[in-house]
Structure formats: structure tokens, C-alpha cells
Amino acid sequence: MITSSATPPAARTAAPPSKRQAGAGLLAAELRVAIMRSSRRLRAEAASRDISPGQYSVLAAILHGPLTVGQLAEREMIQAPSMTRIVNGLESAGYVTRGENPLDKRQVLVQITEDGSAILRKARSRRTQWLAKRVAALSPEERETLREAARILQEMSAV
Amino acid sequence: MITSSATPPAARTAAPPSKRQAGAGLLAAELRVAIMRSSRRLRAEAASRDISPGQYSVLAAILHGPLTVGQLAEREMIQAPSMTRIVNGLESAGYVTRGENPLDKRQVLVQITEDGSAILRKARSRRTQWLAKRVAALSPEERETLREAARILQEMSAV
DNA sequence: TATTGTTATACTCTATAACTATA
DNA sequence: TATAGTTATAGAGTATAACAATA
């Protein structure tokens, strides 16, 4: 891996915009690979037979209160028909119920059930398990680095 | 997947060495959210009309030398027929060529073309662009944290 | 007339099973 | 017989378009 920050980017063009910019570009490339690879691994390790990734996201979203189909679709960045499909699956499994909004009868409020909460907790602990094992094997300094990195990444993704 | 974005601030300061295991579990949960959210954002921002994610991976894999269909399938963790499909798409677009292995005529060596290299470079810079902009806006300390975190994540995913 | 959600239909990417051509 | 790759077919998960109910 090319991680040595001491090495000047001589291989690049003779007049880079600035040393800071070039370093940021290199870091971005490394970081992208690290994030995409980790996410792929996490997704694979977390694979659950209980619920699909899409169903998981929906349950997590409505854990602290019901949302409409439209709100869920927007949140998951998918179209309404796709969300209807996901909700159908969750409803027939007994993990959510459809309710009416008395103030606007066009809307459908998707609410989590007790079974839904239980399956979410189960899936969540499974998803974290693989990572927790590896995190526990790190040094305290490495853990602190990851803790800080998690915060930075959250802020970057939120923008 | 949208857990409470309001991470309890108390949890960060109240992580004494005595609760090392519990801290690792909490960190794992935070880290998972950060990684999955970042990867989703990266995927969305990098979306290219030129080539699909699967095609991108294949081009990147054979950039420094041809590989067989079987090797590519194993590398991408998909079945051979799926890889045949991806290679078909790349071949008809002129981004790869199929070659024979003289030592074993059953095998098909997938080799990248000049056009394939060009489209890969283009897609790669696009994929990094969004992240590079945000990385450039960070402080030098934050960048160093991410650099170190990228290294740790790579090692964790490699195991 | 506009909006919310559903149904109908199609596309993409994946898988398994059966086939071919080599080994 | 076994292996590498392809073809045939099916199953998720997504999308757009058309529709019903409500605002």
C-alpha cells in the first residue's frame, strides 16, 4: 500500500496545483478503496436469512416512530413502488402494520411491530458481530483512530 | 440502517479501559454505520453511465494483466455465468478482448484494451472526485486520522 | 388539478442446471 | 471423468407508466 506521506508525488505532473491537494487526492483514493472493501465485507458477513437489506433499513427507520411510504422511499432513495414492495414483504411477515393518517387519508403510516423490533435487534447484533470481533483485537490507539474516523466519515457523508 | 444519528456524547467520554470490551462493541456499531453510510454515498456519487459497478471491478482487476473468467468470478465472489455476462458486455463495448491460453485451451483470458484503460481512468477519477473534495476540506490532523483508519480498515477486511 | 400509494410491466444483476470443448 | 466456460432459465430488487383514492 502507498501510505507513506513523506514520499513526494514526483510521479505526478511537474506542477501539481498544491501539495495539499495532491495529498488529499491520494488519500481519497485510498479511503475509497478501504470504505468500499469494508462495506462489501460487512454486507457479506452480515447477510441474514431473516430479512433483506432493504427490509432491515426500513425497520431501523421506523423503530422510533412510524413513517409514510413516501417518506421511507425518499429516505432510502428508491421509488415509491419499490418501497410498497418492501413494505408488503414486511407486512406479510408480521414485522410492520399499515395504518391510516386521520389527517390525510391518502397516506399510509408504516409502523413496526413487536416481532419487527425483535428481528431488527437480532439482525443488528449479527451485523455488528463480525466487526466487533476485529475491533476488539486492535490496540487502544487503533480503536481511538477508528472512533475519530467514524465521526469524520459521518460528518462527510451528512453534507 | 438509519440509526440514531445523535450519538450519545456521554458514551465517548465515558469509555474507561475497564469497559474495553463494551467500548469495542459500541465502536463497532458506530463504525458500521459510518462505513455503510459512506459507501452508499460514494456509490451514489460515483454512479457512471459509462460502465456498471461490476464492469468497473473487472477492468480494475485486469489492468495489470489478463485473468481467466474463473479467476475473475472467484475474485468478485460471483458465479461463472454472471462473470461471462459481465465480460460479454465489456467485450461488445470494446473494453476487453477474449484470448486463448495456449497451455489450456479451455480457459479464456480476459485482457483490457486501450479503450478499457481509458474508461477505467475516467471512472476512477469520477469515483474519487466527490470524496477528494471533502477530504480537502478537512484539517491536516483529520486527514492523518483517515489515512491511518484506511490502513486499519484494509487490514481488517483482508483477514 | 395535484399528491399518495398501488398495480402492471420491464430491466439489471444475480443464481442454478444443463451443455460444449477441452484436459 | 473432471474442469472451464457458455447458454438457458429463474429469482431478487429496482425502475417507469398508468391508475385509484384523496386533498
pLDDT tens digits, one per residue of B32-63: 889 988 888 887 777 777 899 899 999 999 99
- Give the minimum alpha-carbon distance from A66 to chain B in angstroms, rounded to a whole number: 14
Distance CA B149, CA B159 (A): 16
What is the four-CA torsion angle of B29, B35, B39, B40, rounded to 10 degrees? Answer: 30
The residue lying closest to nucleotide C13, measuring its CA against C1', is B82
The β-bridge partners of B97 are B111
CA of B82 to C1' of C17 (A): 14
Which residue is closest, via its CA, to the C1' of C3? A106
**Is there a contact between A28 and B148 if contact means CB atoms under 8 Å apart?**
no
**Which residue, chain included where needed, has cell 408488503?**
A88
Residues 60-79 of A with CB under 7 A from strand C: 68-71
Q: Which residues of A touch B32 (CB under 8 A)?
A: 42, 127-128, 131
Task: Mark yes or no for CB contact A135/B28 under 8 Å.
Answer: yes
| Domains of chain B (ranges, CATH numbers) | 23-159 (1.10.10.10)
Q: Is B138 within 8 Å of A152 when comparing Cβ atoms?
A: yes
Per-position pLDDT tens, chain A of length 159? 333 333 333 333 333 344 444 466 789 989 988 998 888 888 777 777 789 989 999 999 999 999 999 999 999 989 999 999 999 999 999 999 999 999 999 999 999 999 999 999 998 888 888 899 999 999 999 999 999 999 999 999 887
